[in-house]
Structure 1
Amino acid sequence: MQKLFQNAQIAQPDGTLLAVDILVTDGIIEKFSPALGEPAPAEVAAIDLHGLFVMPGGVDGHVHFDDPGFTEREDFGTGTMGAAAGGVTTIVDMPCTSLPPVTTPDNFKTKMRAVESKAYVDYAFWGGTTPTFIDSGAFRRLLPELKELGVVGIKAYTISGMQTYPRLDTRQMVMLFEAARDFNMLVAVHAEDYFLATYYTDKIIREGRSDPLAYKDGRTYDAEPLAVSTVLALARREHTRVHIVHMSTSAGVDLVRQAKGQGIDATTETCPHYLLLNREDFVRLGSLAKCTPPLRDRYDNEVLWAGLLDGTIDYVTTDHAAGIYPREKVTDNIWNAYAGMPGVQLRVPLMLYEGCTVRGMNLYRFGEIMSTNPAKRLGLFPRKGILA
């Protein structure tokens, strides 16, 4: 079946809009042509968009849809339904918030069987590894097998709150980076220094604090740039492609900017909540706004926006992670609250308004941070991230 979408507008690299007609055959864009205002052939269904803006389907490269294993929170059906409602046509699910985690080919296949009939949008998976696999050497067999199955890369943590997905120490991270280089795989890292964050968290708990800012002060600001600097140093030394997830600090942005200037193959993402929320919102919202890393300060909001606009930050993801409401998200003791926020349904409209309407981002850059750049970094381009 053919459909002709007439009088659409698409963004050009200089930010201007071009009026086009878009011919779609069996759900696939076949071609563009200048919008001439001519009637469509009788056999083609014509839809007049009256000048509406058209962009590639959104790509959210960082979600936690909890399936299988934690479906009391949500499942792949509800997660991808939210994605579809929010203009996201491709999601990439993390390996850590499912049981079993996606660390072996068998686990990959188990996850695929669990979710493939539930999805409302296209999807891909991140793969992972464990300290045990690295110390035993098994990871050098498992990583290329996961790559062959189609994972977009390997996710690692410098600090982890999940017993089923432990952190890697620096020695293990070096070994992972060496293997990822050898197998040409991307490594995504949750970068907060374990020792700094746990020291201050334990100290604050001993002091008896349980308010929202106790969590923010425990997961101290300096833990992120300290870990980011280590990760970037390893990427430089081992010539590994690295991606820093959910950047939250101004210092972290500066480090990535420097690394790119030095030729390190490093990218980073941030999330709407790190761009739009801060310390004051954490005090106001309490446990509802608990996430990892924690919300930062207003100054960090501004530096993150600047990094997004100048290209230091490559794209925006959600780190979508839904807790059970109210049981996991409403409490007066911040240590008892689940750390995570949903967001896959709101990413595109939030960023369109806050980025383009409020801050003047042009629509071409908007398409890059919402779709094109994650598709390119995660090996999904040009199947994703471009209109045709």
Structure 2
Amino acid sequence: MGTIFDTAIVNGIIVLEHRAVRGTLLIQNGKIAGITDGDSAVECKQLIDAEGRVILPGAIDPHVHLWEPGPQDYREDYRCGSQAAASGGVTTLIEMPLSVPPVIDRESFQLKKDIADRHCLIDFALWGGLIPASADRLSEMHELGCVGYKAFISYANDNYPHTPDDILFKAMKHAAKFNGLIGVHAENADIVEAASKEMEQSGVLDPESYPDGRPALAELEAMERAIRFAENAGCRLHIVHMSVAEGGELVRKAKKRGVKVSNETCPHYLLFDKSILREKGPFAKCNPPIRSYENKEALWEQLFKGNIDFIGSDHSPYTDEEKLKGKHNIWEAPPGFGGIDVLLPAMISEGVNARGLGLVELAKLVSTNVAKAFELYPKKGTITVGSDADLAIVDLNEEWVYKGESSFSKTKSSQGIYEGYRFKGKVKITMVRGSVVYENGKITGDASYGEFVAIQR
């Protein structure tokens, strides 16, 4: 008697690392066990018919803020945030360290991990924090399994202060000793601070002017500075949420001369231009800001040239009440919004369907390249025998309209940036380690199913 597999997914288009094929995907003990042609007979306990659908490696979101632990968990938490992620085909989230307390040592790491272990539906990895108080503790967090260390070149907040250049460079030299990854929010702190204050004090309060207070020059200068530091230190560097298209060329040239640097952009920079600030006001405010139409189109050009490594949502929800503080003064609104549930649909809709992005390239941008950059590969990020059976089964042609009230996110804004957006391409089934956790609009997995994923040494 032959092997009886746990699950067989038949009749779908399977997106592998170098090609897409029609066939049958076999799953055993949470792992990819085989890929056969559609005519092969197999025995299984569960049969999923993916006729007319595409099977992608589950998306890995490298940039997620869930606000837990801490007093802001009313915005988002692991239970709701991970369910929203699953509904959008995300099977692993990498959570940022800006909780209260921030993840800067063993105690704060364990606090966050314990919460996620209890409440995360999908698998998760953790960023460690790089602030002045933790710059000499990176190796400790590395041993705990953190995938990277987040620093703000711009000013942040009292709980998570700005990292000055001297400390950043010192931390990079330290991280280089164990091949650690330094991630930076790249905006020149002094330029941004001065420009923003000058505009507010002079009465420029309208939302569409907001990008002028955080000019492209400030982002490019900070990127170049971080790249030079990393080059000298021999350190791996990642530029988070790159909004300025010229940054793609900057990273390409750095890679060409041997710098170990990667970059991400976000769906909101690819879907919208700064006119959305006029339409949505404070609900479209984020840092770095959404820029011009010309910049948006140039970002797509950089993506197709291969100068953008992957996509992150920068999921960072705020309540409507918090956002509306900026209704008459954009500078008073907090920066950020949700989006983990549209990361993959956005790239299918506007990348694959609207611009001809290939399915293999899509999988690299939302999964494979992320897994490689954060050393989660090949456990994650690929449909390969032996890898975790993390899958997103999607209908490329289904059209739907985003409604905040229907989101699984804890913050169900009816005024958010994606509210009313019509997408073409919808996630139908999400599987984590072989188990269906989301199907056709419903959460089907256990709230504590998710597992911590450390770097693959």
TM-score, L = length of structure 1: 0.94
Cα drift, residue 379 of structure 1:
0.8
2:176 to 173, 181, 195: 181
2:151 counterpart letter in structure 1: A
Q: Deviations over 1:293-344 (max 9, x none)?
A: 0111111111211111121100000010000123334622212212001000
Does structure 2 retain, via aligned residues, the 8 Å contact 1:65–1:74? yes
Listed as ranges, the matches of 1:139-154 within 5 Å are: 139=136, 142-154=137-149
Tell me the SS of whatever aligns to 1:208: coil
Supply the AA of the counterpart residue of 1:252: G
Distance in 1, Cα, partners of 2:54 & 2:186: 36
Conserved in 2, the CA contact under 8 Å of 1:76 and 1:118? yes
Looking at structure 2, the residues matched to 25 and 344 of structure 1 have their Cα atoms a distance apart, in angstroms, of: 28
Q: Deviations over 1:16-44 (max 9, x none)?
A: x3111111123322111111164x43x54
Partners of 1:176 and 1:187 in 2: CA distance = 8
Could you say what secondary structure the match of 1:18 adopts?
Answer: strand
Choose between structure 1 and 2: higher helix proportion.
1
1:304 matched to which residue of 2?
A: 299
d(CA) in 2 for partners of 1:374, 1:45: 30
State whether residues 323 and 329 of structure 1, in contact with CA within 8 Å, keep that contact through their aligned partners in structure 2: no
Residue of 221, 226, 229 corresponding to 1:231: 226
SS at match of 2:118: coil
Q: Hey, what's the Cα distance between the residues in 1 that align with 2:269 and 2:259? A: 24
Aligned mates of 1:182, 1:37 — CA distance in 2: 49
How far has the Cα of 1:371 moved from its partner? 0.5
Q: Given that residues 19 and 51 in structure 1 are in contact (C-alpha distance below 8 angstroms), is that contact kept between their aligned partners in structure 2? A: no
Taking the aligned partners of 2:21 and 2:196, their CA distance within structure 1 comes to 53
Contact preservation (8 Å) 1:246, 1:317: yes
Superposition deviation, residue 181 in structure 1: 0.7
Give, in whole Å, the separation in 2 of the partners of 1:29 and 1:289: 40
Matched with 2:355 is: 359
Residue of 253, 256, 262 corresponding to 1:258 = 253
Residue-by-residue CA offset, 1:275-304 (whole Å, 9 max, x unaligned): 111111112211010000011111111121
Determine if the alignment matches structure 1 residue 380 to structure 2 residue 382.
Answer: no
Q: How many residues of Structure 1 are paired with residues of Structure 2 in the alignment? A: 378
1:156 aligns with 2:151: yes
> Which has the higher mean CA deviation after the structures are superposed, 360-369 or 257-266?
257-266
Matched, 1:21 2:24: yes
Residues 106-130 of structure 1, C-alpha deviations (whole Å, 9 max, x = no match):
1101111222211010001000132
Q: Is the 8 A contact 1:287 1:332 kept in 2?
A: no
Q: 2:38 aligns with which of 22, 25, 35?
A: 35
Q: CA deviation at 1:133?
A: 4.0
Structure 1 alignment gaps of length 5 or more: none
* Residue of 81, 85, 88 corresponding to 1:86: 88
Which of 7, 10, 15 is equivalent to 1:6? 10
| Matched position secondary structure for 2:22 | strand
Give 3-state SS (helix, strand or coil) of 2:64's partner.
strand
Q: Secondary structure at the match of 1:273?
A: helix
Aligned partner of residue 304 in structure 1, secondary structure: helix
2:125 aligns with 124
Aligned-pair distance for 1:220?
1.8
Give the Cα–Cα distance (whole angstroms) in 2 for the partners of residues 14 and 311 of structure 1: 15
The residue type paired with residue 358 of structure 2 is: N
Q: Does 1:317 align with 2:312?
A: yes
Shift of 1:260: 1.4
Q: How much does 1:47 deviate?
A: 2.6
Flag structure 2 segments of 5+ consecutive residues without an equivalent.
385-457
Aligned to 2:103: 102
Paired residue for 2:451? none
**Farther-moved stretch of structure 1 (248-257 vs 86-95):** 248-257
- Which deviates more, 72-81 or 253-262? 253-262
Contact 2:211 2:290 in 1 (8 A): yes
SS of structure 2 residue aligned to 1:222: helix
Residues in 2 aligned to 1:234 and 1:218: alpha-carbon distance in whole angstroms? 26
For 1:25 and 1:63, locate their aligned partners in 2 and report how far apart those are by CA, in whole Å: 30
What is the aligned-residue RMSD (CA, Å)?
A: 1.5
The alignment's TM-score, normalised by the length of structure 2, stands at 0.80
CA distance in 2, matches of 1:103, 1:196: 28
Q: Which has the higher contact order (CA 8 A, sep 6+)?
A: 2
| 2:367 partner amino acid | S
Contact kept in structure 1, 2:97 and 2:126, CA below 8 Å:
yes
More strand by share: 2
Q: 1:209 aligns with which of 204, 208, 213?
A: 204
